[in-house]
């Protein structure tokens, strides 16, 4: 909690310095958040090039609008709101353009990874996520399962389980009601399990 408060104070100072035209503060803000924002965007759009471009666009927008940041929420929340909105818009455009081709790639995953994941999801196994993280193929399957979720459900799951935001922060980032976040997260996890089971059949 004290660490979080310190981070927020640091952010406020950096933002203020950035507003006064301090390029050093601007660079520190970018370096501080670029990996987290890139990671979330990549998991939402599943394309490294698009994720890099969207990350860049996010920071440009942040710098452009730094004077409009009112400080009602934390800078961290505000920055993620920009990133998620840009990514969701990008995903919608990509879907309309028919860029997704996940089903075609499903066959390329080897049977061993699928078997390992099936074992993990079985009722009797004890959960060991570290084993999943070590397998590139398994991570690929989970990532593709995420991409089959609805955009808004995927965003909620990633913000909660990857970025570790609480429900209130997620509601702030998505500009949604708390109840909406709860129900959307519940549906997202339920759908994700079904998708994974389907992929492993």
Partner 1 sequence: MKQENRNIEELLNGYIDDELTDRHRAEVERMISTDSQIARRLRQLHKCKMLVGALPHAEAPTETLELVKASLQRQVLVGRQRSPLDERQGARHLLLRRVVSVAAMIGLVAVLGAVVYTILAPPTGTEMTTMVQGPSEGQEDVAKVDAPGKAIPAFYGRLQLKTASLVAVDAKINRAIENSGLAGSVGLASEANRIVYTLTCSRESLRALLTDLEGVWNRFDAASLFVETDRFGEPVVVDAVTAGQIGEIVNSESAEARIGAAKDFAVSNKIAGLLPGKQVLTALGDRIGDSITIPRPVLTAAEKPTKKPPAKPEDKQQVHLTIVLTGGK
Which stretches of the chain bind partner 1, using CB under 8 A? Answer: 18-23, 26-27, 30-31, 34-39, 42-43, 48, 51-52, 55-57, 59-60, 63-64, 66, 120-121, 123, 127, 129-130, 132-133, 139, 142-143, 146, 157-158, 160-162, 166-167, 182-183, 185-186, 189-190, 192-193, 196
Whole-number Å distance between alpha carbons of 153 and 189: 8
Q: Least distance (Å) from partner 1 to the CB of residue 107?
A: 21
Q: Least distance (Å) from partner 1 to the CB of residue 161?
A: 4
**CB nearer partner 1, residue 81 or residue 182:** 182
**CB nearer partner 1, residue 97 or residue 110:** 110
**CB nearer partner 1, residue 26 or residue 91:** 26
Per the CB < 8 A criterion, the answer to whether 201 and 108 are in contact is: no
Whole-number Å distance between alpha carbons of 17 and 143: 38
Whole-number Å distance between alpha carbons of 35 and 41: 10
Q: Least distance (Å) from partner 1 to the CB of residue 22?
A: 7
**CB nearer partner 1, residue 108 or residue 124:** 124
Q: Least distance (Å) from partner 1 to the CB of residue 122?
A: 9
Whole-number Å distance between alpha carbons of 10 and 28: 10
Q: Least distance (Å) from partner 1 to the CB of residue 49?
A: 9
Q: Least distance (Å) from partner 1 to the CB of residue 29?
A: 10
**CB nearer partner 1, residue 97 or residue 185:** 185
**CB nearer partner 1, residue 98 or residue 164:** 164
């Amino acid at each position: 909690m004290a660490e979080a408060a310190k981070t927020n104070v640091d952010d406020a100072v950096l933002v203020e310095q950035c507003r006064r035209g301090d390029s050093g503060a601007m660079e520190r803000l970018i370096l501080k958040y670029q990996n987290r924002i890139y990671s979330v965007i990549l998991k939402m759009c599943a394309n490294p090039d698009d994720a890099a471009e969207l990350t860049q666009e996010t920071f440009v927008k942040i710098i452009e609008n730094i004077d409009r940041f009112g400080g009602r929420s934390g800078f961290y929340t505000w920055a993620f709101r920009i990133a998620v909105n840009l990514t969701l818009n990008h995903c919608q455009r990509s879907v309309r353009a028919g860029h997704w081709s996940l089903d075609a790639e499903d066959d390329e995953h080897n049977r061993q990874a699928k078997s390992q994941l099936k074992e993990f999801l079985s009722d009797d196994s004890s959960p060991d996520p570290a084993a999943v993280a070590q397998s590139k193929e398994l991570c690929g399957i989970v990532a593709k399962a995420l991409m089959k979720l609805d955009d808004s459900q995927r965003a909620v799951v990633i913000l909660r389980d990857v970025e570790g935001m609480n429900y209130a922060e997620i509601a702030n980032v998505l500009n949604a009601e708390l109840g909406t976040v709860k129900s959307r997260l519940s549906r997202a996890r339920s759908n994700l399990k079904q998708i994974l089971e389907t992929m492993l059949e």
